[in-house]
């Protein structure tokens, strides 16, 4: 197309920004002025650092893509999803309180999202919106850096959304058993029933009504409760820390702060530990891969979050 006679200088050749450039070059215009759009729908949204993590990956890999952090009230979720669909977004994350409500606005569910019954990542496939649950997959990606989940005995503390995603993905990845420990027995029993019906793993419930001591047989112990989340950084699980043994992998979903009381207790007892940043980065990596086709460098994403959480 010939440049219009406006005096504006239009690019005459395509220039790809190099991987790792981290900067938009003032002399190298992008190939297109239409960026790939992604983002997040949640409320509250302001404290969610995912935008910084994902955009760091986009910059690092020279991707002409944006991630918009959007404050979306429950009653506006349908409009937000229709808007993303109308504007051709490549996909978006859903966080609190939309992970279940978003299901009715989607065309299809990935296998594990359908078992978990919640979606935190939506991917456009042609004109269809497909719901994925990358929380549990992100956790497994973090876990696999230290051990294979197959054949392992898991203890999952909590039975909320994060626990559900982790327990289901661990069971589908071949965990031998999942022990769900929860205060609210009905909620815990629901997760155990789901694991028994939809996965091959053995599952049992322990009601959390006193100080819990993980059994010697446990190999992976995961805090999937909200205990320890900022600003309640000194909050402790009602758990006997001497039950944490050196052969155990101890993981926490709490990303802010990354060094929770549980992680410190487990380190002192010689356990291998995984903080909540590993899971957060893991789910972000999967989202970027699904939206852009590029496998992003997790170290860039983690470094961004570490800067934020230690600032
Ligand atoms: P939910 O509200 O769905 O579930 C909360 C769970 O925590 C319930 O099982 C609840 O037990 C339990 N719980 C809360 N307080 C206590 C307590 N004092 N003692 C024992 N158990 C307790 O929350 P989510 O599952 O969605 O989220 C949980 C945490 O996971 C959040 O802090 C969130 O930040 C984190 N998260 C981290 C991610 C990451 O990428 N790192 C991704 C997603 C979540 P009960 O049922 O008995 O009330």
Mean pLDDT of 94-103: 95
Fold exhibited by the domain 136-274: Rossmann fold (3.40.50)
282 lines ligand 1 (CB under 6 A): no
- Choosing from 59, 99, 105, 259, the catalytic residue is 99
> Is it the case that residue 23 has pLDDT exceeding 50?
no
Specify the residue with its C-alpha closest to ligand 1, atom 44. 162
Q: How far apart are CA 282 and CA 137, in angstroms?
A: 7
Tell me if 161 CB under 6 Å of ligand 1: yes
Smallest CA separation from ligand 1 atom 23, residue: 160
DSSP state letters, 281-298: HHHHHHHHHHHHS----H
Check if 36-132+279-309 and 136-274 are the same fold. yes
- Rounded to an integer, the average pLDDT of 174-181 is 98
- pLDDT confidence of residue 309: 87
For residue 273, pLDDT beyond 80: yes
CATH code of 36-132+279-309, in short, is 3.40.50.10860
In the chain, where are the structural domains located? 36-132+279-309, 136-274
99 assigned to active site: yes
Write down the mean pLDDT value for the chain. 91
Is pTM beyond 0.85? Reply is: yes
Q: Which of 116, 158, 161 to mutate to test the pocket of ligand 1 (most atoms within 8 A of CB)?
A: 158
- 121-125 vs 91-94, strand pairing mode: antiparallel
Strand 65-71 relative to strand 36-42: parallel, antiparallel, unpaired?
parallel
The reply to whether ligand 1 has any atom less than 6 angstroms from the CB of 188 is: no
pLDDT digits (tens, 9 = 90+) for 102-161: 999 999 999 999 999 999 999 999 999 999 999 999 999 999 999 999 999 999 999 999
The share of the chain scoring above pLDDT 90, in percent, equals: 86
């Amino acid at each position: 197309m010939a440049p219009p006679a406006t005096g504006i200088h239009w690019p005459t050749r395509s220039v790809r920004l190099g991987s790792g450039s981290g900067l938009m070059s003032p002399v190298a215009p992008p190939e297109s002025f239409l960026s790939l759009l992604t983002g997040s729908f949640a409320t509250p949204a302001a404290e969610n650092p995912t935008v910084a993590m994902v955009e760091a990956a986009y910059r690092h890999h020279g991707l002409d893509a944006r991630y918009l952090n959007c404050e979306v009230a429950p009653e506006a979720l349908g409009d937000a999803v229709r808007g993303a669909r109308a504007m051709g977004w490549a996909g978006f994350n859903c966080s609190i309180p939309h992970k279940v409500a978003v299901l009715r606005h989607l065309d299809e569910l990935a296998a594990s999202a359908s078992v978990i019954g919640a979606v935190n990542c939506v991917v456009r496939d042609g004109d269809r919106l497909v719901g994925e649950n990358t929380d549990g997959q992100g956790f497994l990606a973090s876990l696999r850096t230290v051990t294979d989940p197959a054949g392992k005995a898991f203890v999952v503390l909590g039975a909320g959304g994060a626990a559900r995603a982790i327990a289901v993905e661990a069971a589908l990845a071949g965990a031998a058993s999942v022990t769900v420990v929860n205060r609210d027995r009905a909620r815990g029993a629901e997760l155990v029933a789901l694991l028994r019906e939809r996965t091959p793993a053995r599952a049992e419930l322990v009601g959390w009504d006193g100080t819990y001591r993980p059994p010697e047989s446990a190999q992976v112990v995961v805090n999937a409760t909200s205990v320890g989340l900022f600003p309640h950084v000194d909050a402790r699980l009602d758990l006997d820390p001497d039950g944490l043994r050196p052969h155990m992998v101890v993981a926490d979903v709490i990303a802010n702060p990354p060094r929770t009381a549980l992680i410190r207790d487990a380190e002192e007892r010689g356990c291998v530990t995984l903080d909540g940043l590993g899971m957060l980065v893991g789910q972000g990596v999967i989202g970027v891969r699904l939206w852009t086709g590029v496998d992003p460098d997790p170290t860039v994403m983690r470094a961004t979050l570490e800067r934020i959480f230690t600032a």
